Amino acid sequence: MRYTISRPVRRSLAGAAVGVLVLGLTAACGGDDDPKQSADQEDLAAGDAITITTFGEFGYDALIEQWNEENPDTQVEQTKVSKWDDWKAEITTSLQAGGKGLPDVVALEGDYMPAVVAAPDVWVDLAQSEVEGRWLEFKVDEATTDDGQLLGYATDAGPEAICYRKDLFEAAGLPGDREEVAALMTTWDDYFALGEEFKKNSDANFYDASGSIAQAMLNQVEFPFEQADNSVDISSDELKNVWDTVTSHTDLGSKAVQWSPDWTAAFKKPGNATVACPGWMRNNIKENTGDPAPDGVVWDIADVFPGGGGNWGGSYLTIPKSSTHQAEALEFITWITAPEQQAKVFELTGNFPSQVEALQSETVLAATDEYFNNAPAGEIFSNRAAAITVQPYHGPLYSDILQKFQDAINRVDQGTDPDKSWATFEQDVASLQ
């Protein structure tokens, strides 16, 4: 099976430095330390280790243990940060201090890569013949500069399905069978209509958060916030449709900010009937619902995504020039992002591989998920990957504008008039330029 994803051709960056990362570098270059200059390289001394900081759950614990057993002279130590936003703030602070405090390997959320590509001199070029053809094309494009520098090795991708509570569907008088559920939500109009039907007979939330649904819909918009020349444009009909649709259905969701304690709690009471669900989201659902699931709670996965296909998330491993062990770090990330290792991560955590060979492996294709009613997760997410036809353009300001958009959605959830919240969003975006 071949997976191809269309995307606009990358154009040269317009204007001066843009994005939080670039602004941070401007500040850093005024001091004694310049993160653009590669650090002097050192041999690993006895007791030293390559350092890597990840966020969320990359599924690397067992793999790093395996690496350390097989490579006694090149040990690796992992630090985990629970939330990407927290780690992003630390990265920015470190870069403003000339790269001080950054580990040898920096894990980055995919939405941050445009800012990295906009400031390539801070990061090691990872291009090497050994990894050519390893990843889905759009994952490579997202991390590649105009002059061919590859600044990140992709870890996973996020093809989206719909995870749903079979027990809540059936209690509301709706079908629970995953094929029947899939047939009920092939379009977003169908999805929201089903939510209205569900709410007539249930006190549970139809979906977990307005921000989650907004993100899911944005993942099908080719130019959500920026055009191919990186000019900011938030006036498109597609973006306004996402806004109008989500803000007119806030009664269907929890009204909690995604990733907040209230969002976590809503999985248990009153419960969430559906979640826009890339493979990695299954871990969040398990943790928030409880593992094993409480009596009577049955999660399942429908092989569908309203409107076609969508990709949400997928991270990268990078090496900053501040690292004093760049060769060893490159050797490690080459190994841990290889298809064999990513297939193992999928088995352990559900993070869907971004490597072409891994997508075709029996380990992935035959995988089932006991927690999700023994759903054929490997087959479902492989099908969802094949359904992706649009990869949204992520310019240097994408991550920052997305946060402002989510803030605007959350204000409406809390009672702000949609028109007023949109006006604030426009002002917030203008302040970023």
Q: What is the pTM of this model?
A: 0.81
Beta strand segments in 82-211, E = 105-109, 153-154, 156-157, 160-165, 205-207
Structure-token pair, residue 321? 């020039």
Per the listing, tokens 């089932």 go with: 368
What CATH number is given for 160-309+390-432 in this structure?
Answer: 3.40.190.10
Which pLDDT belongs to residue 348?
85
**Beta partners for 52?**
78, 105
Average pLDDT, the chain: 90
- Cis omega (within 30 of 0) on the bond before 175? no
Let me know if domain 19-157+312-365 sits in CATH 3.40.30.10: no
CB proximity list for 410: less than 8 A, separation 6 or greater: 210, 211, 257
CA–CA separation, 318 and 64 (whole Å): 17
Residues constituting the chain: 433
Asked whether residue 301 carries a pLDDT value surpassing 90, the answer given is yes
Alpha helices in 224-325 (DSSP H): 237-247, 261-266, 281-289
Which pLDDT belongs to residue 305?
98
Asked whether residue 3 carries a pLDDT value surpassing 60, the answer given is no
Indicate the pLDDT class of residue 331, thresholds 50, 70 and 90.
Answer: very high
CATH fold match for the domains 19-157+312-365 and 160-309+390-432: yes
For the chain, what are the domain ranges?
A: 19-157+312-365, 160-309+390-432
Which pLDDT belongs to residue 313?
83
Residue type at 238 in one-letter notation: E
